[in-house]
Structure formats: structure tokens, C-alpha cells
Chains A and B, each alone.
Chain A
Amino acid sequence: MKSSLKKTSPKTFNYDISKKRFRFSDWFAEKFIKSIAFLSIAFVILIFVFVFREAFPVFRMDVKETVTAEPMVQERYGVDDKSAAAEPEKSKETSPAKKVSVPSSTLLSKDWMPVSDNPRYGLIPLFLGTFKVTIIALLFAAPIAILAAIYTAMFAKPRLREIIKPVIELLAGFPSVVIGFFALMVMATVLQEIFGYASRLNSFVGGIAMALAAIPIIYTLTEDSLTAIPKTYIEASLGLGASMRQTAFYVVLPAAVPGIFAAVLLGVGRIFGETMIALMATGNAALVNINPFDSVRTLSATIGAEMAEVVFGDTHYSVLFLIGSLLFIFTFFLNAVAEFYLKNVVIRRFQSKK
């Protein structure tokens, strides 16, 4: 050993630690990863800014005239100018400043008729439609997902669990257009035969299809929050002579409620923003009623259906962006609440104990 030490020149061991070295690869890697991380935040912020900027003209009375005035004529297809001008509400035609003021007053009306002669941009049917679909989807998705999660987390044998969990999670990877297509071609027909309602595509069909999209999210997060409950809890309950069912429903489930709440919120976010399924399976009629078997038009489907045909910079265009920003705010809010719950309530509750 000694001889080998002598052989190697003393320089190899003589690291100079008195001076800090600049290591380019480390520096570069760190900066690169950092910039990537900030880039994704920047994207979100930029989208946010863009969407809001485009929606903003709706609330401003007298700006953007130059942009909006020009393409107006093109939009009113199939209607002659005279009859259009005759209508009192037809502010679109008259002065550009007034034209932009129309939507903000009609936003709360009950009609969504953006391309009519007398365009009305009532968001109420869209909100109601989204609300209906969300409620129906949630009524299906939440119980199924939560019960499935309880089963896999508490009752299933490990081997069975290894099958069920990935299969349900696989559903999350399903392209929504496939689910929408299935709903459109198969589910709509079958459900109509069973329930015998009039319109084939409606909020009921759309809701169930969206439930399929939301189940994996709610399931996965619920399962996670159930398995996050310390094992000692379960043992304590069983040690007191509680059965597995009593343990699952009286001990584990109540302890996991904040996590399940967050899971459901994220599921709502998914349903809320779901466009393809809504477009394909809900019928897209902007009606105002609470019958689940009537067609509805959701907020996101409205953007999806109309954005391609709208005139750039037009009022309709701005209103669609307004809808986009509302969706953005809503899902942002949902995610923030869910995140807050997960971080502050669930984690703190169990970490303080350790």
C-alpha cells in the first residue's frame, strides 16, 4: 500500500480547496433546469394575460372600434342590412363605440345568440348548462370513484389491487375524443332506449361521459389519501374489535375527508374544462331549464365550437375570451382550494402526530 501511494505523484491527492472552482457543467445544468421551471410558470402567466387581454374589450365601451367595426358586415350573414338597421337593439351596426357596449348588457340575458341579427351574448344558459353537466357527472363519478378507492385501499387483496388500480388509472389516459365518440355513438342510443327521452344528446348523456373522464382523477387522489392514513390508525381500530367495514367507514374515511374533498374538486375542474366530450355528447343547445334530459351547451364547448368561426377582434370573439377567462379563473380557484386543502389540512393533520 505504501509503495503504491508513493508511486502516484503527490499532485493527484493535492486538491486545492483554498479556491472555489467554477464547474461549467454543474452551473449550466442548474441554470438550465431552473429556466425550464420558470418557463412553465411563464407560460401559464402568458396564457392568463393573453386570455384576459382579449376578453377585456367586452367591458370597455369605446375602445377597439377600429378593429371591430370592419368585419361586422361579414358576420351578419343571411340578413339584409335594412332590416338589421331597423331594429332598435341593433347597436352593432350604428356606432362602433356603442356596439361594444352591447355585450356587457346582454351578458346576463337568457339568450346565447352570438350570430343572430340581434346578437345576444347571455351567459346564463351556458353557465346553467355547465352546471347541469357538472352536477350530473359528479353524481356519477364521485360515488363510483370513492367507493372503488375504498375497495382497493382497504379491502382488495394486493394482487387484485395491482390489477384494478392501473386499469382505472388507464382511463385517465383515454383521449376525451374517444370517450366523446363512444358517448355519441353508443351511450346516447342505449340511454335513449332505456329512458325514452326526446333529445338524443343531452346533459345526462354528456354528464355520464364526463364522469368517465373524471373517475380516474377522483379515484387516484382518493385512493392516495386513503392509503396515506397511517397504518397505526387501522390497527388501532381493528385492535378495538372493529370490523374492516367499520374501520373503513368510521375511521379511515372520515380521516381522509379533506383529501377526498380535494380529489372531488379536481374532478370538478376536469369536468368543467372538458370540451370534446361536451361538444360531442351534450347536444349544444343553449337552453335555460333544469331538465337533465334536455340538450345543453357548456362554456368550454361554446369556445370549442365557435372560436374557429368567429371574426378576429369582434365582440363575439371577445365574449368567447371572456368565457375562457371565467373558466380559467374558476379552475384556478378550484385547484388552489384543492391544493390548499391537501397541503394544510391533510398533511398537517398527520404530520403533527409523528
Chain B
Amino acid sequence: MNDIKVHVKDLDLHYGVNPALKKVNIMIPEKMVTAFIGPSGCGKSTFLRTLNRMNDLIENVKIDGEVRIDDIDIYGKEIDVVNLRKKVGMIFQKSNPFAKSIYENIAFGPKINGITHKDTLDEIVEKSLRQAAIWDEVKGRLYNSALSLSGGQQQRICIARTLAVNPEIILMDEPASALDPISTAKIEELIHELKQDYTIIIVTHNMQQAARTSDYTAFFYLGELVEFNKTETIFSNPSKRQTEDYISGRFG
């Protein structure tokens, strides 16, 4: 097991009075792919969004417990959320490129970080698009609208956009659920390559996808972390009954 990147201790989350996460404890290893699986409404996406404080945007969210990234409590008083989100990038279920050119989409992150030098930006854009394995498809039309691309290409643009800000952790919230099988395969291949350099946490409905892409798998049910282990163990020899039932398709 690699070093621990994210260490969550006794995390509770309430939407108003409704508990969404109950005493979650997890240690997520660095430069590996960790998958969160579980039925709808089990809190896996909510948990993912606590890791870059995206839940701050929602009213009436109450969070207790600790989330430590590199041993810094990201819910501490001194934490700069803007910089935290640069470090912890996020890919969403629905690809959401800005209604701008492909180039502008990728350059957005560096630009808001104050990089204005054209050559540097060009370099970052090319590097990010190459990393996201989409450079060859779009290099001739960098100045076309990103919305003119297919859904799978848009999603890889979003990944490239996230890579351009140089994150350490990439959170993916069902990144392939709206995509066709070929695009999904490309995204999965990409995840495999990216884990050399980044810690990846992926939420997925698709258990095969979790089995294919991840090194570790966490199973959530009704706001609780039921089981967390190596993916092979979870899928071949789960220790909890609920996990086994879910994986074998008895519910969910």
C-alpha cells in the first residue's frame, strides 16, 4: 500500500436534520484509483464532494469530523477553499465544458491563476490535452467551441481542463455514466494512465467499471461506509453480507 493521501476520521454530514453520512472513516492511498460504489442515495457522491468542499455551496449542510489531506484538516479555520480546489480537482457526471473554445476551456484554470504568457499557456494546453489523450483529436481545431465535440470528447476536455491546474487528487463523479461504451473505455484507459501521477477517486454506479479501473473499493450503504478494501478482495471475498448482496446484484 502506498502512502495515505486522504485520511477521513468520523465524518458526519447532515442536510438540515437528515443525516447523509454517518461516521465515515477511510484512508485513501496516494497514486492509486479508489472507487466508491453503492446504490443511489447512499452518500457516495456526497462524500466525494466533501473532499474538495463542494458541499459548501449547498445551504444547511453541517459537517463534523476530520478530513485530512496530506495531514492538513481541510475543514480547519485557516483553510483557503479556493486553493484547496486547485489541489483537489473534480470531474462531473455531466461533461460541462464552458461555452468557449477548446483552448479557452483548458487555459481557463491557468489564466485565473495569473498565467498570462501566451507561450506558457500554449504549452500547458498542449500538455494537458496530451495527458487527457485527446490532443490528436482536437489539435487542428483548438479554437472551435468545446460544445461542438462529442460527449466522450467533452468529458476528456473536462479532464484536461482539470489537469491544467496541476491537481494532486482528481475526484470523478460518475465520469462515464452518460457515455457510450467506446468513450467509456477511453476514459477508463485514461484513468489507468493518470494514476501514475495522481490520486484518483471515482464514484461509479457500474460495478464492472469499479472492478476494472480501481485498486481499492469502498462500498457505501445508507450513508455508512460498509466495507473498504482492495478491489480484488471486495469483489471476490467480501467480508460483509451487505457488500456481497450488492455485488451479486441482490439489491441496489
Contacts and interface: CB of A to CB of B under 8 A. Distances in A.
A241 B94 contact: no
Contacts of B162: 239-240
Given A240-B112, A240-B161, A233 B90 contact: no
A233 B98 contact: yes
Nearest to A353: B147
Contacts, number: 70
Contact of B54 (A239, A251, A352): A239
A94 interface: no
Nearest to B94: A232
A237 B96 CA distance: 10
A240 B96 contact: no
Nearest to B93: A232
A241 B57 CA distance: 14
Interface stretch (A54-62, A216-224, A242-250, A293-301): A242-250
Contacts of A208: none
Contacts of B97: 236
Contacts of B52: 239
Nearest to A158: B59
A352 B154 CA distance: 13
A246 B86 CA distance: 14
Q: How large is the interface on B (under 10, 10 to 19, 20 to 34, 35 or more residues)?
A: 20 to 34
B51 to A, nearest CB: 11
Contact of B165 (A232, A241, A250): A241
Contacts of A238: 54, 57, 85
A232 B155 CA distance: 13
A235 B96 contact: yes
A255 interface: yes
Nearest to B87: A241
A230 interface: yes
B116 interface: no
A224 to B, nearest CB: 18
Interface of A: 157-158, 230, 232-243, 246, 250-251, 254-255, 349, 352-353
Interface of B: 52, 54, 57, 59, 82-87, 89-90, 92, 94, 96-100, 108-109, 112-113, 147, 158, 161-162, 165
